[in-house]
Amino acid sequence: MFVRGIRGATTVEHNEENDILTATTELLHQIIAENGIIPEEIASVFVTVTPDLTATFPARAIRQMAGWDLVPLMCSLEIPVEGGLPRCIRLMVMVNTDKQQNEIIHVYQREAMRLRPDLSKLTKA
């Protein structure tokens, strides 16, 4: 068994609590679905936001999901690089799995698909 990182990112239109919580939930749900994981397999989740997102902690959305109350979560600010993608939420989900690195599906939604076009595919959100 390995610990693998699953990356994900999304954006929101506005710095509003509901937008941030909804986008975080949608992103994590897609990561879970694409990779077939359950909370018990998660080692931890690292969450970053760009400095323009101050309305709430995205981890609040994760803690409200059934079965995720014991998963270690950490929020931080993304490095404020000039010209970086604004209003962006990023997740690094560390999962215990037997999958090989090339079997991991990273999820990029909305404007965040520009971050890694090589890993992005058309998504529902």
pLDDT tens, 25-73? 999 999 999 999 988 999 999 999 999 999 999 999 999 998 898 999 9
Domain ranges of the chain: 2-120
* 78 is known as an active-site residue: yes
DSSP code per residue over the chain: -EEEEEEEEEE-SSS-HHHHHHHHHHHHHHHHHHHT--GGGEEEEEEEE-TT--S--THHHHHTSTT-TTS-EEEEEPP--TTPPSSEEEEEEEEEES--GGG---EE-GGGGGT-TTT------
- Which entry of 4, 26, 78, 87 is annotated as an active-site residue? 78
Instruction: Given CATH 3.30.1330.40, say whether it is the number of domain 2-120.
Output: yes
pLDDT at 114: 75
pLDDT at 86: 95
pLDDT tens, 68-119? 989 999 999 999 899 999 999 999 999 999 998 888 999 999 877 777 767 7
90 is in an annotated binding site: yes
* 88 is known as an active-site residue: no
* 63 is known as an active-site residue: yes
* 75 is known as an active-site residue: yes
- Which entry of 34, 41, 75, 111 is annotated as an active-site residue? 75
